[in-house]
Amino acid sequence: MTHRRFVALIATFLIVSATSYGDISDGLVSAWTFDDGKADDAFGNSDGILHEGAEGIDDGMRGAGLDFDGVAAWVEVPDVDAFDVMEEAYTLSAWANVRTGKDHSGIVFKGVKIGWGANFTARIATVSPTDLTWGACAGGLEGWFRTDGVYAVNEWVHVCLTADGAEVTGYVDGELVPSGGQQNPTAVAAPYNLFKDNALEFGVGRAIGGNVGQDAFLDGSVDEIYLYNRAVTADELAELAEGERPRAVDSALGVDAGGKVATAWAALKGHR
């Protein structure tokens, strides 16, 4: 292959690599990647606090992740004004690897109780080893629904909750999942309840059965949790479910996005 043809081939690869995925950074508020074994916000200013044995692991979905023992471990992300965007619209995107699917064991949750009334801003939680429960609340409306048979234990699964101001939708591995008796999506019109006095929490569901102090802790791991100020599109959702990371997060971390462009550029320089 001539040098000129090789350069043209690599240039084409660079263009395709840069354009094959859209930029899923638009509207990003916070990103918890757990790459440092902690719950620092890699994009915003909302660092989390590890409690009761929550610990970093090397084998997350993408590099390092965070593990919960199912007994008392959880992460607290104190409320900040940046979370106020959730009043009008939001997306919560997360990866989870559940060992034991307990009733209302929260993957991501914000509120005073994880159910039993309009007590939360958002929730994604297990209810069994195969089923999930989701929702958002507005005024006195508890907009919740359940999806049956949508995940398996001991496997990484992508879960995503979107609230677009009119309805709330749950996705598993990039797909709109069927619900087991409750509608997905379900109609919940903004403004959504914010619960400013309550943290965004990972790994716990609060007040099971409506009983304060009766909490359900996640037995499993999480990784790459993102908060957006809007409902992501279907194409963006597909990227997230394929394990893509917003470019802005990689830039903030000083990481090349997948190494693809860097590898191609190195090949071009090496062929000179």
Structural domains in the chain, sorted by start: 1-22+255-272 (no CATH), 24-245 (2.60.120.200)
Give me the pLDDT at residue 257, please.
53
Cα–Cα distance measured from residue 159 to residue 137, given in angstroms and rounded to the nearest whole number: 19
Give the single-character DSSP code of 42.
S
* Segment 127-152 mean pLDDT: 97
Note whether 265 and 272 are within 8 A (CB): no
Residues in the chain: 272
> Looking at residue 41, what DSSP letter applies?
B
Percent of the chain with pLDDT over 90: 83
Q: What is the pTM (predicted TM-score) of this model? A: 0.87
Backbone angles phi, psi at 173, to 5 degrees: 50, 40
User: For the segment 231-243, what is each residue's pLDDT rounded down to a tens digit?
Assistant: 999 999 999 999 9
Q: For residue 36, how far is the Cα from the chain centroid?
A: 17
Q: Which two tokens stand for residue 124?
A: 């994604």
167-193 pLDDT tens trace: 999 999 999 998 777 799 999 999 999
| Separation of alpha carbons 106 and 102, rounded Å | 9
| 262 Rama class: left (phi>0) / alpha (psi -120 to 50) / beta | alpha
